Amino acid sequence: MKFSDIVTQLSPESHSLIDNPHLDPDLQGITPIQDAIAHTLSYIEGDKFAKMVVETTASALILPLDSTLQEQATKKGLAWLSSPYPRLTFAQALNLFYQPFIPKPQIHPSSVISDDVVLGKDVSIGANVVIQEGVKLGDNVCIYPNVVIYPHSVIGDRTLLHSNCTIHERTQIGQNCVIHSGAVIGAEGFGFVPIKEGWYKMPQSGYVLLEEGVEIGCNSTVDRPAVGITRIGKNTKLDNLVHIGHNCQIGQNCAFAGQVGLAGGVTVGNRVILGGQVGVANQAIIGDGAIASAQTGISSNVKSGETVSGTPSMPHKIYLKVSAMYKNLPDMYKAFRQSKKQES
Amino acid sequence: MKFSDIVTQLSPESHSLIDNPHLDPDLQGITPIQDAIAHTLSYIEGDKFAKMVVETTASALILPLDSTLQEQATKKGLAWLSSPYPRLTFAQALNLFYQPFIPKPQIHPSSVISDDVVLGKDVSIGANVVIQEGVKLGDNVCIYPNVVIYPHSVIGDRTLLHSNCTIHERTQIGQNCVIHSGAVIGAEGFGFVPIKEGWYKMPQSGYVLLEEGVEIGCNSTVDRPAVGITRIGKNTKLDNLVHIGHNCQIGQNCAFAGQVGLAGGVTVGNRVILGGQVGVANQAIIGDGAIASAQTGISSNVKSGETVSGTPSMPHKIYLKVSAMYKNLPDMYKAFRQSKKQES
Amino acid sequence: MKFSDIVTQLSPESHSLIDNPHLDPDLQGITPIQDAIAHTLSYIEGDKFAKMVVETTASALILPLDSTLQEQATKKGLAWLSSPYPRLTFAQALNLFYQPFIPKPQIHPSSVISDDVVLGKDVSIGANVVIQEGVKLGDNVCIYPNVVIYPHSVIGDRTLLHSNCTIHERTQIGQNCVIHSGAVIGAEGFGFVPIKEGWYKMPQSGYVLLEEGVEIGCNSTVDRPAVGITRIGKNTKLDNLVHIGHNCQIGQNCAFAGQVGLAGGVTVGNRVILGGQVGVANQAIIGDGAIASAQTGISSNVKSGETVSGTPSMPHKIYLKVSAMYKNLPDMYKAFRQSKKQES
């Protein structure tokens, strides 16, 4: 693809063709800046950029709106395009080159599909997929091999279910969702009532609802509740190995990093970001736009817009000060002991 | 179902039919109190109750033994039943309305079953299940689609194996167990002996034993040991994404919440409760009835009956005091610095 | 197997046949010392040994190079062999008795294999395995039932893929690797660019490369990057439920315990040991031979050879002192408050 084609398709705020219309390299792909090769487009984030522009062997670069970097690239004979959101432009450029693997519409003869399943137009059902009674698939649904769907689930248009994931009974999955390999959606919540003999199992009669555009990472689990719904809002994205307990109500456009765990009945607003391995206790409420750093332990509520860290969680600004103190504790304790001695 | 039928079946300690024998609504299901609709039975836990009784649109309620709430419900024209254990009564009531999906006895023609497998009466073996040589299944065992059982495992009567779970060689699973989707039972423990060239793999010749009534959550893993047994005692329940290392010995009636991890050789007594994301170090011993709060890091032993929190773990009462101090550290350090200056 | 055969095969530094050539028990297996029975070989690590030697009912023992223990064993009429690395000797002895389950070369008729797949010599492909277009399998590759391999992946000689694992597109797995049940290798990295409407999905055009001898635990996940490679070096071993983010570069001979999580772009040197539930932040760099204790939160770089603990991570020696101080915080705060009062 010619550099000029990329410029035409992405319409960047600025680019090198304005001053150098004849510098129009043929680009065969996108490479990471540290391994960039000729005839590729490259990009790097953050301050390491300046040095990389001078060193790279890429033929073209995605730059931020930075005239110094633009001049350096021009001087080096590189084509470039500049964007106020270079990471977004990088993603858009990747989409020009990269086509993810999505099988063509087909129903593999080895799949086992209940007679009453309702299939939309142009669905793709891979080898050894099992779809049980009363399931409905929307148009262009794509189910990779070895997926199992339990009875009476609904899968929205254009949703992808990757291999070895399991969708349990009555789950409702919206349009344009992606369920990654090994994820389990809608299994029984962890509900046991303590009795004299041990535990009485709470029946889990509810279901999981994923709104449109939700993405669930590999081997993550979203449990259904005893009654009612476990809900994940529109466009919320979960990374791998995340656990969402029964009855959680999660808003829109959230992002939870790997190994996050939410206990039962947690309420999460919109645009909430949870770092890796964050844990949230039963019934906690997290407001819109809140952020938690990795490994934060949230045992009570977090206000809208707040950034929290630490276990137990506290405002991030305080955490930075507090955690910087830990290393002083032994000296502080020594002084405390001495003053105690002097007193007595 | 008539309210009076529910009363008959659950025999609650008190109920509204005594004073209002004609208030006997027809109930079509159970709904969560916040979304309750007419002609349903509802229930909520804890102190939010009082307000909810006045507001709810449910037709009947499960209440604790609280005369104020009972009077409020009566005044509102609601049928009610009261129990000293309202959560247990709620679970029992759910069982009157909700029938979990369990397939009928059948052996799906797409399953691949070794010739020498011993099948109990009325087993259900779903599509694409693979059962390898020397396996024994008890009566009424139910295996959902796409499960794999490695050789010489034994599955007890009425045990359920959900889709995409894997049972490794020689595993012994007792009666009335539930293995949830994606769980892996009896895979090789993580054993590598450091040698000059890297690692020497320790053969894992032992096996996993799950006693009766054990439940293993989705995508959880229980490893087998080099020699001997990894054992989980009767009626112990594990939530999702829990890791149990090789050679752990876990007692009866325990409950481990999501993402708990036990390293190798941990000994756990009976009725132990571990909160979410708790980690337990190699060879630690946890006594009967101990409790650990979420994210606790247990690096040594915990006494019977003790409640611990924090990393490293300490008695919960001390942890509450200690963790409340963190935010004061910067001020304390300032004072410490000043007194140091004055001294010098 | 005669004790003398074991001695011949393992060539231990010292053994009881030298003084007692006629004490040559027939050994039928290896048992853990606490459950040892007659006609078995046993072994235990660490200081608990002395007592065990006197008590055990095993017929032969693996001992460290400790003349007291040797004499005790001799006195008790036990055969023994001594090694400077008794744990390694134990592993080697286990290999004499234990043969792991590896199916014979075969291609199960229920497997679904794309026409253009290249198969090495003597491969074993289990029931319901799905292998998609352009995949290449080396010699003696063994694929257990219900595995799915996405297009254009390469699996090296003698590598084992356990049941229900998923290998995503373009993944390169070296020779002698083991991918345990439920693991997911090469799925899309967690890349979403924030935009006004929510998130723009970053295409994930890169791939995962596992060098030879890598072992990936059950239900662990290794993600592919937007561009370039996520790499795990030769002989590195991951335990269960580990998450490796996109673009991580991990060296050789590392060992990561259960539930470790690495965010994106982490660089890890050789021979690095991470304890259970350790979390590592984006772009962190961990030097050769570094060690992190369980639950450590690594948010910045760790130097070669350093041992770190705590969140945020600090040198382990300091952590030991610091964490021992926590319990004193309430008393220290009380003193701080009093001195404040006196000042004012």
What single string gives the DSSP state of each residue in B171-231?
-EE-TT-EE-TT-EEEEEP--EEEETTEEEEPP---EEEE-TT-EE-TT-EEEEPSSSEEE
Q: How far is B204 from chain A (nearest CA, A)?
A: 25
Which band of pLDDT confidence, cut at 50, 70 and 90, is reported for residue C51? Answer: confident
pLDDT of residue C144: 98
Among A87, A163, A258, the residue with its CB nearest the CB of C166 is A163
Residue A219: list chain B partners with CB under 8 A. Answer: 182, 219, 241
Report how far residue C78's alpha carbon sits from residue C53's, in angstroms, rounded to the nearest whole number.
Answer: 9
Instruction: Report, as an integer, the average pLDDT of A142-157.
Output: 98
Instruction: Report, as an integer, the average pLDDT of A69-86.
Output: 94
Residue A184: list chain B partners with CB under 8 A. Answer: 164, 180-182, 218-219, 240
Mark yes or no for CB contact A217/C221 under 8 Å: yes
Identify whether A340 is part of a domain.
no
Among B130, B132, B331, the residue with its CB nearest the CB of C128 is B130
Identify whether C335 is part of a domain.
no
Report how far residue C239's alpha carbon sits from residue B13's, in angstroms, rounded to the nearest whole number.
Answer: 51
Specify whether B86 is located in the same domain as B156.
no
Specify whether B113 is located in the same domain as B257.
yes
Residue B203, judged by CB atoms within 10 A of its CB (0-12, 13-18, 19+), counts as: buried
Does the pLDDT of residue B61 top 90, yes or no?
yes
Distances (CA, A) of C276 to A59, A216, B278, C258: 44, 24, 10, 5
pLDDT of residue A225: 97
Identify whether C343 is part of a domain.
no
Report how far residue C41's alpha carbon sits from residue B295's, in angstroms, rounded to the nearest whole number.
Answer: 40
pLDDT of residue A279: 98
HSE-up (13 A, CA, CB side) for residue C57: 5
pLDDT of residue B53: 87
Residue B330: list chain A partners with CB under 8 A. Answer: 321-322, 325
Long-range contacts, stretch B10-14, CB < 8 angstroms, 24+ apart: B10/B81, B10/B83, B10/B89, B10/B92, B10/B93, B10/B96, B12/B81, B12/B82, B12/B83, B12/B89, B13/B65, B13/B82, B13/B83, B13/B84, B14/B65, B14/B70, B14/B81, B14/B82
Specify whether B212 is located in the same domain as B312.
yes
pLDDT of residue B274: 98
The mean-pLDDT minimum among B16-20, B43-47, C193-197, C233-237 falls in B43-47
Residue B192: list chain C partners with CB under 8 A. Answer: 237, 255
pLDDT tens for each residue of B279-292: 999 999 999 999 99
pLDDT of residue C237: 98
Share of chain A above pLDDT 90, in %: 89
* Token pair in block for residue C2: 């005669």
Element (H, E) at A8: helix A3-10
Residue A227: list chain B partners with CB under 8 A. Answer: 30-32, 94
Which band of pLDDT confidence, cut at 50, 70 and 90, is reported for residue A104? Answer: very high
Interface contact B245, partner C, CB < 8 A: yes
The alpha carbon dihedral of B25, B30, B36, B41 has a sign of positive
Specify whether A207 is located in the same domain as A88.
no
Specify whether B203 is located in the same domain as B87.
no
Share of chain B above pLDDT 70, in %: 99
Which band of pLDDT confidence, cut at 50, 70 and 90, is reported for residue B338? Answer: confident
Does the pLDDT of residue A335 top 80, yes or no?
yes
Are the C-beta atoms of B171 and B151 separated by less than 8 Å? no
Interface contact A314, partner B, CB < 8 A: yes
Specify whether B226 is located in the same domain as B161.
yes
Identify whether C334 is part of a domain.
no
Q: Which domain holds residue B131?
A: 106-320
DSSP per-residue letters across C306-325? -EEETTTTEEHHHHHHHHHH
Instruction: Report, as an integer, the average pLDDT of A284-313.
Output: 97
Contacts of B51 (CB under 8 A, 6+ apart): none
The alpha carbon dihedral of A237, A240, A243, A246 has a sign of positive
Does the pLDDT of residue C45 top 90, yes or no?
no
Are the C-beta atoms of B264 and B281 separated by less than 8 Å? no
The mean-pLDDT minimum among B96-110, B203-217, C325-339 falls in C325-339
Q: Which of C222, C228, C127, C150 is nearest to C180 (CA)?
A: C222
Interface contact A213, partner C, CB < 8 A: yes
The mean-pLDDT minimum among C159-173, C270-284, C315-329 falls in C315-329
| Angle of the C316-325 helix axis to the A329-343 helix axis, nearest 10 | 40
Specify whether B177 is located in the same domain as B238.
yes
Q: Which of C37, C62, C97 is the last residue of a domain?
A: C97
Does the pLDDT of residue B51 top 90, yes or no?
no
pLDDT of residue B249: 98
Residue A188: list chain B partners with CB under 8 A. Answer: 100, 180
Q: Which of C4, C100, C26, C15 is nearest to C63 (CA)?
A: C15
Interface contact B217, partner A, CB < 8 A: yes
DSSP per-residue letters across A57-120? --SEEEE-S-HHHHHHHHHTT-EEEE-SSHHHHHHHHHHHH-----PPSEE-TT-EE-TT-EE-
| Helix-strand-coil split of chain B, %, nearest 5 | 20, 30, 50
Among A200, A281, A312, the residue with its CB nearest the CB of B323 is A312
Share of chain C above pLDDT 90, in %: 89
Are the C-beta atoms of A78 and A58 separated by less than 8 Å? yes
Report how far residue C187's alpha carbon sits from residue C208's, in angstroms, rounded to the nearest whole number.
Answer: 9
Mark yes or no for CB contact A190/B145 under 8 Å: no
Identify whether B177 is part of a domain.
yes
Interface contact B237, partner A, CB < 8 A: yes
Angle B236-B241-B243 from CA coordinates, rounded to 5°: 65
Neighbours of chain B (3+ CB pairs under 8 A): A, C
Which band of pLDDT confidence, cut at 50, 70 and 90, is reported for residue C65? Answer: very high
Does the pLDDT of residue B344 top 80, yes or no?
no
Specify whether A21 is located in the same domain as A156.
no
Among C164, C218, C255, the residue with its CB nearest the CB of B148 is C164
Contacts of C166 (CB under 8 A, 6+ apart): A162, A163, A164, A181, A182, A218, C147, C148, C149, C150, C183, C184, C185, C187
Which band of pLDDT confidence, cut at 50, 70 and 90, is reported for residue B89? Answer: very high
Mark yes or no for CB contact A204/B237 under 8 Å: no
Mark yes or no for CB contact B237/A263 under 8 Å: no
Instruction: Report, as an integer, the average pLDDT of A251-268.
Output: 98
Identify whether C330 is part of a domain.
no
Among C187, C227, C321, the residue with its CB nearest the CB of A31 is C227
Instruction: Report, as an integer, the average pLDDT of B79-89.
Output: 94
First-to-last alpha carbon distance for chain A, in angstroms, is 83
Closest alpha carbon within chain B to C234: B198
Angle C258-C259-C262 from CA coordinates, rounded to 5°: 120
Mark yes or no for CB contact A241/C219 under 8 Å: yes
Report how far residue C199's alpha carbon sits from residue B2's, in angstroms, rounded to the nearest whole number.
Answer: 49
Q: Which of A242, A132, A141 is nearest to C221 (CA)?
A: A242
Interface contact C157, partner A, CB < 8 A: no
Query: What ipTM is given for this predicted complex?
Result: 0.96
Report how far residue B28's alpha carbon sits from residue B40's, in angstroms, rounded to the nearest whole number.
Answer: 6
Interface contact A201, partner B, CB < 8 A: yes
pLDDT of residue B7: 97
pLDDT tens for each residue of C247-261: 999 999 999 999 999
Closest alpha carbon within chain C to A311: C311
pLDDT of residue C197: 87
Which band of pLDDT confidence, cut at 50, 70 and 90, is reported for residue A130? Answer: very high
Mark yes or no for CB contact C32/B299 under 8 Å: no
Q: How far is B239 from chain A (nearest CA, A)?
A: 6
The mean-pLDDT minimum among A309-313, B182-186, C55-59, C316-320 falls in C55-59
Among A91, A219, A255, the residue with its CB nearest the CB of C184 is A219
Which residue in C114, C219, C240, C311 has the most chain A C-beta atoms within 10 A of its own C-beta, making it the best mutation to test that interface? C311
Residue A110: list chain B partners with CB under 8 A. Answer: 110
Helix (H, G, I), strand (E, B) or coil at B113: strand
Instruction: Report, as an integer, the average pLDDT of B127-140.
Output: 98
HSE-up (13 A, CA, CB side) for residue A140: 9
Are the C-beta atoms of C212 and C248 separated by less than 8 Å? no
Report how far residue B122's alpha carbon sits from residue B142's, in angstroms, rounded to the nearest whole number.
Answer: 9
Contacts of A132 (CB under 8 A, 6+ apart): A114, A117, A148, A149, A150, A151, B145
The mean-pLDDT minimum among B340-344, C175-179, C260-264 falls in B340-344
The residues of B assigned a catalytic role are 246
Interface contact C318, partner A, CB < 8 A: yes
Among A190, A205, A331, the residue with its CB nearest the CB of B239 is A190
Interface contact C239, partner A, CB < 8 A: no
Instruction: Report, as an integer, the average pLDDT of C43-50.
Output: 73
Q: Which of C70, C57, C56 is nearest to C13 (CA)?
A: C70
Neighbours of chain C (3+ CB pairs under 8 A): A, B
pLDDT of residue B90: 94
Interface contact C338, partner A, CB < 8 A: no
Contacts of C5 (CB under 8 A, 6+ apart): none
Mark yes or no for CB contact C223/A234 under 8 Å: no
Mark yes or no for CB contact A198/B326 under 8 Å: no
* Token pair in block for residue B45: 């836990």
How many A/C residue pairs have CB atoms within 8 Å?
186
Which band of pLDDT confidence, cut at 50, 70 and 90, is reported for residue A32? Answer: confident
Instruction: Report, as an integer, the average pLDDT of A32-36.
Output: 85
Report how far residue A67's alpha carbon sits from residue A71's, in angstroms, rounded to the nearest whole number.
Answer: 6
Residue C92: list chain B partners with CB under 8 A. Answer: 200
Specify whether C35 is located in the same domain as C93.
yes
Q: Which of A148, A154, A212, A149 is nearest to A178 (CA)?
A: A212
pLDDT of residue A167: 98
Q: Which of C307, C311, C265 is nearest to C287 (CA)?
A: C307
The residues of C assigned a catalytic role are 246
pLDDT of residue A35: 84
Identify whether A52 is part of a domain.
yes
Interface contact C230, partner A, CB < 8 A: no
Are the C-beta atoms of B269 and B289 separated by less than 8 Å? yes
Identify whether A337 is part of a domain.
no
Does the pLDDT of residue C2 top 90, yes or no?
yes
pLDDT of residue A341: 81
- CB < 8 Å from C in window 75-114 of B: 110, 112
What is the 8-class DSSP label of residue A175?
A: T
How many domains does chain B divide into? 2
Mark yes or no for CB contact B94/A335 under 8 Å: no
In the numeric block, the tokens 């269960």 are attached to: C240
The mean-pLDDT minimum among A64-73, A299-308, B126-135, B215-224 falls in A64-73
The CATH number that applies at residue B32 is 3.40.1390.10
Interface contact B333, partner C, CB < 8 A: no
Instruction: Report, as an integer, the average pLDDT of C202-224.
Output: 98
pLDDT of residue A34: 81
Interface contact A277, partner B, CB < 8 A: yes
DSSP per-residue letters across C232-258? E-TT-EE-TT-EE-TT-EE-SS-EE-T
Report how far residue B328's alpha carbon sits from residue B152's, in angstroms, rounded to the nearest whole number.
Answer: 59
pLDDT of residue C178: 98
Q: How far is A134 from chain B (nearest CA, A)?
A: 12
Interface contact B117, partner C, CB < 8 A: no
pLDDT of residue A152: 98
Chain-centre distance of CA A308, in angstroms? Answer: 20
Report how far residue C22's alpha carbon sits from residue A154's, in angstroms, rounded to the nearest whole number.
Answer: 73
Instruction: Report, as an integer, the average pLDDT of A81-95.
Output: 94
Does the pLDDT of residue A344 top 80, yes or no?
no
pLDDT of residue A197: 87
Instruction: Report, as an integer, the average pLDDT of C280-292.
Output: 97
The CATH number that applies at residue B260 is 2.160.10.10
pLDDT of residue B292: 98
Which band of pLDDT confidence, cut at 50, 70 and 90, is reported for residue C267? Answer: very high
pLDDT of residue A342: 81
The mean-pLDDT minimum among A51-65, C132-146, C230-244 falls in A51-65
Specify whether A21 is located in the same domain as A116.
no
Which band of pLDDT confidence, cut at 50, 70 and 90, is reported for residue B337? Answer: confident
Are the C-beta atoms of B244 and B223 separated by less than 8 Å? yes
In the numeric block, the tokens 């530094």 are attached to: C13
Are the C-beta atoms of C134 and C114 separated by less than 8 Å? yes
Specify whether A181 is located in the same domain as A296.
yes
Specify whether A88 is located in the same domain as A207.
no
Q: Which residues pair with B44 in a beta bridge?
A: none
Interface contact C221, partner A, CB < 8 A: yes
Report how far residue B249's alpha carbon sits from residue B198's, in angstroms, rounded to the nearest whole number.
Answer: 30
